[in-house]
A = this chain, B = another copy of it.
């Protein structure tokens, strides 16, 4: 981890910090403390299967003291292909404006990727063209095109 910073799973007390960091990424809108806490509860309870005791959602924060400096999610999808293989999906990586330029994005991606590859045959993510070089430095390669329907 970057000196002066630490990393751990998201906890209920991270309500304000996580939402502030996500606001640097996109529209968060109105999320109440109760909704946040229910979401954290859900993340802490859903397993990948009824078998091994592996959680599906892996939401993390990087902290500077008690302040949330960055946040990101890795969730695990369970497939039938590849012998009931697991795929990790990295989503919603956000670094607080006060903590940018300190390679926290890289540290978060490395952490979530290592965690994913412990359990999954691959970890994937979608990004803008402008971020491809960053993710190549993190060990990723182009795999396809993301399409969306709104």
Residues of chain A at the chain B interface (Cβ within 8 Å):
18-19, 22, 25-31, 35-36, 38-39, 41-42, 45-46, 49-51, 56, 73, 75, 77-84, 89, 91-92, 113, 116-117, 121-129, 132, 135-136, 138-150
Question: Which among B18, B116, B122, B142 is the interface contact of A80 at CB below 8 angstroms?
Answer: B18
Cross-chain contact B147 with A145 (CB below 8 angstroms): no
Question: Which among B19, B31, B41, B129 is the interface contact of A144 at CB below 8 angstroms?
Answer: B129
Cross-chain contact B135 with A142 (CB below 8 angstroms): no
Whether A149 contacts B138 in the complex (CB less than 8 A), given A19-B80, A30-B83, comes out as yes
Question: Which among B28, B38, B126, B138 is the interface contact of A126 at CB below 8 angstroms?
Answer: B126
Inside 8 A of A19's CB, which chain B residues have their CB? 80
Inside 8 A of A132's CB, which chain B residues have their CB? 145, 147
Inside 8 A of A123's CB, which chain B residues have their CB? 148-149
